[in-house]
Structure 1
């Protein structure tokens, strides 16, 4: 049982994603070509973008938070509902009224399709008292769609986009709420399922606008069962069938509808979640496309109506969270294709739809739906705890677990969407003003298999896993950007820009996409597979870091400063510490009773990745390099007894560019990790 069931609560409000954007451009990772204006806001001539610079939010903190989120409706176990606080005090309950911060983090500059939320806590409070408080399990957004808000101008970019997060709230401190029927029925869970859809992100070319980096959020919280996936609904999926150009498979930039999960519960109710499926026409309503009905396909061009969708009612999306329940299902609904169609008629009527443009959403013909629970990975190529990861692939047919063999194939289609495009032309799924390094190569950098002992390089056509009778199969992934794979695939760019080596040179490691197909003969980069490859959440999205040999005694000049310089370029956030100044970092004197700089640095570099103050915030520093910095901070001998400042050759002119970069470093990296924690 996920949020898509009973009991459940609906909430709405605002969210902030204050993402830093200098690092959105892969070319900005190249220290030798980085320019001061790359840290400035993008420039426009009227509506035409003339200078991308550091994109639209170069000074972003990485903060993620809720704002003004309140519970506006609940559904009880028997399917009845309440939106009146005099009947149930849960109505009007606040969610994170203190705007508790988490972090929003891209996987990589060349895969921004699955941004994750880290270090986030969720509190449900009433009149200052906590009813429940827990930790949001890290997850990436899913079903990213750039054609949601049609009332916004064509050049609105991310403002037109939508996506959803589904995860669990775990380690819950549960107090409940006196007099609340909803909380009485919920019991005392240690975990809850949560899903929220985010859209209408405000990027109005005016960073001084108080709504800048804020958007709309509508969400649901309900029970969670341990045997089910945490990041998606374990049931059925309706696939979009329309684009701007007519009938076609889902395209994030041009489709006029998006995916819709659904489930038939034990009481034979059909629950359909359409929160991320329809286009928005303003802050209140979805686009009016006529009479929409949930139906079941009973034959060629034949659809039996199950019931109407009430999407045109005032506040339907906000109060119902896009969810609608249907009962008295026809028998065909249990093993035939479900659909959303535009048609007149009453429940039970059969309509003939020879014009496919009236079929907006449709289940796969085989009824097969497969998705991996964890779908975002950061892998080390060193022999450490982060070299190997595991995820579970779930498979369902007509909503029931099914045993099925899947072949794992390389897919660079989606990550390659973030390549050079003219930002003033076409339907952007994402763009970079300058081309970045090639992605998804070499195959030998990533190993896959159903067990650790059966790992094979990505690209081997015989890699497969078979789900068991419970519809589950393990997939193991291992980073191997090392040895012959690393040496035989050097980055082909400028030696000056190649500060890191490996397949992308100035960007550490490589990004890969992996999709799963039931068809052995299918070629890579397929976009018509039961897994729904056109959504990054239906792929395994992987960043593999280069192997890095940690020096026994790392030093500032040879090991640390190069890394800090890149962070200084990419994250121009102000702080009080000059991280590039050896004496500033190693100052072991506390001020006004607070910790010394050195102790603070050791603290933040000692945190676990899911802590909100983890350093670096972007989580793009490899495990091995972070360990090197921790070794350097620990010092042997201790840092405070060593001298490792940058020395200019005798009688030479100081390198003012190097000094400037060093100062910027201190104003950036430490602030990201510590200052914004407080």
Structure 2
């Protein structure tokens, strides 16, 4: 069960992601060499990191309108937004050296009809998955898309009887949670546009069952071939589907098909339909004939119909004909030609899926990271599978210090074989990386998951979605912290990178301003990391340093100190020069980062512990 199951609520509208962009350049973290003019070169230097759902309304509740009285159900006219009694949620990257996992923090989702609450829940913090930068189609340039999947918890419901749809949704879910997916597209980074920092979103809310992953669907995984340069020639992104009762294939194509505008217009790629291939030998790009090379499932996809994406949320249900066996045969998306079909994209080879539910981590020295790993084959749990974590070696992306060193600070344990539900736990021991990046706290480590006896390349992992951790440096809290010696170097960095603080609230690098606003800083630095009011907004400060700041703020005289000499960070002379990429919108820093990373990915070594 997930948002792909029924009952399901589909909605669409806008979102705002007011991201800061001074911190996109890792060199701006060096307070000794920071150039104040770098803010002028950033396309949104005063970004607040706010994330908001705007103008969102329910489009449909599939299968519910036909029921007696359902047309009057308040859910069908409900608006969807964040909480009316808290500050906006925040969207931030893990690190300037890993910008491909932006996470939502502190989001509350509320459905209201005529100001009456139907349901509300807290969005468990999660990073997007399967971000995509589609290729150019002739003269058409689709915009990047990404998918946030998580669960809603701490749910508040309207009283029974107010909404039949809400009542059915509550009955179908367990554990006090709901499954939710947001797909964002058509983000506008043009500072002169009235839609600056605004994009479009389609969403789905459905049931949740215990032991399901929170951030992806355990089902049939469709994966394009990606070459050594990271190029996806399929014209279709990674996507997932589930088989329901052996009679229907339900797939989420919202983040799979290239989208041209904020209205959800999908690039016309001809007639597309699903089919089942006879064996695993038939791969992407192959020409096949219906009845011989594949068996058709259902009707052609109506993705070219006006409003299809917004009306359906990108979710399609395909009938499986009687007596068609898909239990151990690969499914594929095919394009019709004059007399045959072309395989556009297909399931992973041999039907394998191995994914970690929580793939983005912030860790302290001495922590042991834990995440649940799910292994399936052709959509069914794979018991007794042996998962093999593969640590990725140092990566050099543009003018950045290398990541992944020292490898000894990130040690994965060999997981136990998967249980009857195809699940196991991955544990990684983290130790002090020793400030390998100089002016940036901690280090970035990454790994991918393999299966013993299976070539990892056959799993067709998304190269932009490794398990990634920011491991903070070890830090000994001083007994008597002072402004100049301990607090100011940290606050100076945040003042440089996030000028909105100085413009609208407080100059963090000014002692007197900090003294004046001591109370609000104590409040913000003491918040839980999931609280939308938490500081730092970027969640890139270790627990020990936050505790040091709070200790200093609690001292009655806020001691200034003497300003003991600090080691001056020096640029790493081994780094590669930045490579400009004029095929990507210059305001799309993630596209720039992704292409630079993929150019280097072929040289990254994978090491088994």
Instruction: Give distance in 2, aligned partners of 1:200 and 1:503.
Output: 37
1:602 aligned partner: 522
Alignment TM-score, normalising by the size of structure 1:
0.75
Report matched runs for 1:645-660 at 5 Å: none
Which of 573, 578, 581 is matched with 2:510 structurally? 581
Q: Secondary structure at the match of 1:610?
A: coil
Q: 333, 337, 354: which one pairs with 1:340? A: 333
Alpha-carbon spacing, 1:438–1:180, altered in 2? closer, same or farther (3 Å): same
Q: How many residues align?
A: 542
Q: Say which of 609, 612, 616 aligns to 2:536.
A: 616
**Which of 155, 164, 185 is residue 181 of structure 1 equivalent to?**
164
Contact 1:83 1:91 in 2 (8 A): no
C-alpha distance 367-583 of structure 1, shift in aligned 2 (>3 A):
same
The 8 Å contact of residues 415 and 426 in structure 2, kept in 1 or not, is answered as no
Contact 2:186 2:260 in 1 (8 A): no
Is residue 439 from structure 1 mapped to residue 366 from structure 2 by the alignment?
A: no
User: How many Å separate the matches in 1 of 2:69 and 2:239?
Assistant: 29
Question: Structure 1's 352 and 647: CA in aligned 2 closer, same or farther, altered over 3 A?
Answer: closer
Would you say the 8 A contact 2:83–2:108 is kept in 1?
A: no
Matches within 5 A, 1:154-553: 160-175=143-158, 178=161, 180-187=163-170, 190-204=176-190, 207-241=191-225, 251=230, 256-266=235-245, 268-282=247-261, 283-299=263-279, 301=288, 302-307=293-298, 308-329=300-321, 330-343=323-336, 358-381=342-365, 383=366, 387-403=367-383, 404-411=385-392, 416=396, 419-420=397-398, 435-449=399-413, 463-481=414-432, 486=434, 502-519=435-452, 528-530=457-459, 532-536=461-465, 539-553=466-480
* Cα gap change, 1:152 to 1:226, in 2 (>3 Å): farther
SS in 2 for 1:16: strand
TM-fit CA distance, 1:402 = 0.5
The CA distance in 1 between the partners of 2:340 and 2:424, in whole Å, is 40
Q: What whole-Å deviation, never above 9, does each CA across 1:250-304 have from its counterpart, x for those lacking one? A: 9367652101200012363210111111112343421111110110001455111
The SS at the match of 1:219 is: strand
Return the alpha-carbon distance in structure 1 between the equivalents of residues 337 and 73 of structure 2: 38
Q: Which residue in the other structure is 2:27 paired with?
A: 27
Identify which of 68, 88, 109 aligns with 2:55. 68
The separation in 2 between residues aligned to 1:97 and 1:643, in whole angstroms, is 41
State whether residues 390 and 474 of structure 1, in contact with CA within 8 Å, keep that contact through their aligned partners in structure 2: yes
Shift of 1:370: 1.2
Give the CA deviation at 1:219.
Answer: 0.8
Shift of 1:36: 1.5
**Secondary structure at 1:75's aligned position in 2?**
coil
Q: Residue in 1 aligned with 2:590? A: none
- Using the alignment, how far apart are the partners of 1:170 and 1:106 within structure 2? 23
**C-alpha displacement of 1:315:** 0.8
CA pair 191-647 structure 1, distance change in 2 beyond 3 A: closer
- SS of match in other structure, 2:6: coil
Cα distance change, pair 465–234 in 1 and its aligned pair in 2 (3 A): same
- Alignment check: 8 A CA contact 1:390 1:477 kept: yes
Q: Which has the larger radius of gyration?
A: 1
C-alpha distance 617-151 of structure 1, shift in aligned 2 (>3 A):
farther
- Identify the residue that residue 428 of structure 1 maps to in structure 2: none
Partner SS state of residue 317, structure 1 = helix
Root-mean-square deviation over aligned CA pairs: 2.7
**Hey, what does 1:664 align to over in structure 2?**
none
Q: Match of 2:549?
A: 629
* Map of 1:348 onto structure 2: none
Contact 1:22-1:571 within 8 A present in 2 as well? yes
> Aligned to 2:76, which of 81, 91, 102?
91
Aligned-pair CA distance for 1:166: 0.3
> In 1, distance between residues paired with 2:61 and 2:478?
57
Give the Å deviation of 1:398. 1.1
Report the Cα distance in structure 2 between the residues aligned to 1:604 and 1:305, rounded to whole angstroms.
57
The 10-residue stretch of structure 1 (282-291 or 94-103) with the greater mean CA deviation from structure 2: 94-103
Question: Higher mean Cα deviation, 319-328 or 134-143?
Answer: 319-328
- Per-residue CA shift, 1:216-270, capped at 9, x if unaligned? 10010011111211111111111124x7xxxx58936765210120001236321
Q: Distance in 1 between matches of 2:453 and 2:474?
A: 32
- Counterpart CA distance in 1 for 2:351 and 2:529 is 38
The DSSP-based 3-state class of the residue aligned with 1:187 is: helix
Q: Between 281-290 and 194-203, report the one with greater CA deviation.
A: 281-290
SS in 2 for 1:334: coil
1:114-146 Cα deviation digits (max 9, x unpaired): 110001111000011111111000100000111
Structure 2: give runs of 5+ residues left out of the alignment.
Answer: 283-287, 565-609
1:517 shift after superposition: 1.1
Kindly indicate whether the alpha-carbon contact (under 8 Å) linking 2:484 and 2:563 is maintained by their aligned counterparts in 1: no
1-structure distance, mates of 2:16, 2:393: 30
- Give TM-score scaled by structure 2 length: 0.83
Worse-superposed segment, 281-290 or 597-606: 281-290
1:260–1:274 CA contact under 8 A, matched in 2? yes
Q: 1:529: Cα distance to partner?
A: 4.2
Alpha-carbon separation, structure 1, partners of 2:229 and 2:422: 25
Q: Which residue of 1 aligns with 2:489?
A: 562
| Residues 176/265 of structure 1: CA separation in 2 closer, same or farther (3 Å cut) | farther
Displacement, 1:448?
A: 1.5
Helix, strand or coil: the match of 1:286?
A: coil
Give the direction of change, closer, same or farther, for the CA distance of 1:643–1:364 in structure 2 (3 Å limit). Answer: closer
